[in-house]
Amino acid sequence: MNRNIRKLLTEMHEKNPDPICTYIYDLAGIQKHVKNMLKTMPKQTNLFYAIKANPDKKIIQALLPLVKGFEIASIGELKIVREVSKSVPILFGGPCKKDYELEMAIKENVSYIHVESLLELRKLISLTKKSDKHIQVLLRINLRTDTLPKTKILMGGRPSQFGIDEQLIEEAISILRDEENTHVHLSGFHFHSLSNNMQAELHVEMVTYYIRKVEQWKEIYGLDIKVINAGGGFGVSYDDSPGFDWPLFTSLLAQSQEVSNLSDTQLFFEPGRFIVADYGYYVAEVVDIKMSVGHCYALVRGGTHHNRLPASWGHNHPFAVEHLARWNYPFQRPELNNSNVTIVGELCTPKDQLYKDAKVEVLRVGDAIIFEKSGAYCWTISHHDFLGHPHPAFYYITEGDHYESNNNTD
């Protein structure tokens, strides 16, 4: 926890009579973290940021000097990245691409398009021919294997809407080699099979399996492959269990025969969660505390319409309590001591729950609850306008523990 957050919250109370409700993103923390990640990565590897985890423009700006580029999956995301940089490399993925998206992506000079189906490949061939624009592609493959690590979110190694079935590779290659194709060039393969994997050893096994697969396809089809994109999916722990061990992952990777044999083929990673999750805080002030049928509830200004991750995953979201002094009423301030409390939001639905039966030492109305690990898939996946409450504020911690706010709350 950043030592200045307390000061910031006190200042917010001095300036504004309303209960606190804000996101705080630690940009300096993200930069330090990514610099550390880069230090141990083997020389054949490149780091991209999948912006869907958190497309906040200030985060993208903070990452711009550090990462190789950004992975995007829509024109909205493409625009955000291009507003930050006209030239930074972009990987364009995502299922269900429309013609206007493919055209815009080519116009905005994305580096690679991740092709997700045979139809998409055919459309791309015809669009690029018409516009006389060349494009490099990676084929996203859904592998026929049951050896992938088992995580909560699986996109590959089982039936899914993502990527091209491994059994269709031969057909994809023959489409690419057809004389109709004059402008689409195969640079490599893309895999993104899972999310939130905690096991570094298994992640190395998965990545080296990808590389071996690509080696086989190179042999069988006589391909010249420049890029293997091994996706994201590095896990973050939301409870006491250990998170993903990046130094172990990168050291095992560096020792692997498969990575040593890559020669000039580049291995890409495009994490989202692992880059930003730990550097976001969602802060919501306790507005009421009440007992109901023997259970205690703390109701906060905010909820799952701002941070839907706990409801989406059905987990308890880790938090810390920050005691704040402000209490302007002539009657007694409600207070809990050493009790269990369920933390809920301001929405008119019992689903609006952030933590069930948390043990707290002291919690008072007017204290702030700081939900940690709220940097990834929290604000961005939430139904912000359900019930029409005001959006949270957004604050950013920059170099030297300075804060800046963003008036734009969208």
Q: Cβ 157 to ligand PLP, closest distance in Å?
A: 15
Q: Cβ 71 to ligand PLP, closest distance in Å?
A: 5
Phi and psi torsions of 220, nearest 5°: -60, -45
Residue number, 163 or 302, with CB nearest to ligand PLP: 163
Give the pairing type, strands 90-92 and 112-115.
Answer: parallel
Concerning whether 378 is annotated as a catalytic residue, the answer is no
Q: Cβ 239 to ligand PLP, closest distance in Å?
A: 18
Q: Cβ 49 to ligand PLP, closest distance in Å?
A: 9
Out of 21, 96, 296, 348, pick the active-site residue.
Answer: 348
Q: Using an 8 Å Cβ cutoff, are 53 and 63 in contact?
A: no
CB-count exposure of residue 153 (10 Å: 0-12, 13-18, 19+): exposed
Tokens of 117: 């189906």
Q: Cβ 321 to ligand PLP, closest distance in Å?
A: 28
Please report where in the chains the tokens 């560096």 appear, as a residue: 254
Which H or E element spans position 100? helix 99-107
Residues that bind ligand PLP in the complex, under the rule CB under 6 A: 50, 52-53, 71, 93, 192, 195, 231-234, 270-274
* Torsion of Cα atoms, 306 then 309 then 310 then 315, to 10°: -170
Q: How many other CB atoms are there within 10 angstroms of residue 54's CB atom?
A: 28
Beta-sheet strands, E only, within 122-176: 135-142, 153-154, 164-165
Return all residues near 106 (Cβ < 8 A) that are at least 6 apart: 113, 127, 128, 131, 133, 135
Return the bridge partners of 319, or none. Answer: 371
Residue number, 19 or 232, with CB nearest to ligand PLP: 232
Which H or E element spans position 396? strand 393-398
Q: How far is CA 145 from the centre of its chain?
A: 25
Q: Cβ 202 to ligand PLP, closest distance in Å?
A: 15
Residue number, 232 or 280, with CB nearest to ligand PLP: 232
Residue number, 345 or 375, with CB nearest to ligand PLP: 375
Q: CA–CA distance from 104 to each of 30, 77, 108 (Å)?
A: 30, 12, 6
Residue number, 31 or 197, with CB nearest to ligand PLP: 197
Q: Using an 8 Å Cβ cutoff, are 322 and 24 in contact?
A: no
Residue nearest to ligand PLP (CB): 232
Q: Cβ 53 to ligand PLP, closest distance in Å?
A: 5
Residue number, 209 or 395, with CB nearest to ligand PLP: 209
Residue number, 74 or 353, with CB nearest to ligand PLP: 74
* DSSP reduced 3-state for 134: coil
Please report where in the chains the tokens 């001095």 appear, as a residue: 14
Name the nearest CA neighbour of 321 among 362, 279, 373.
Answer: 362
Which residues are catalytic, by number? 348
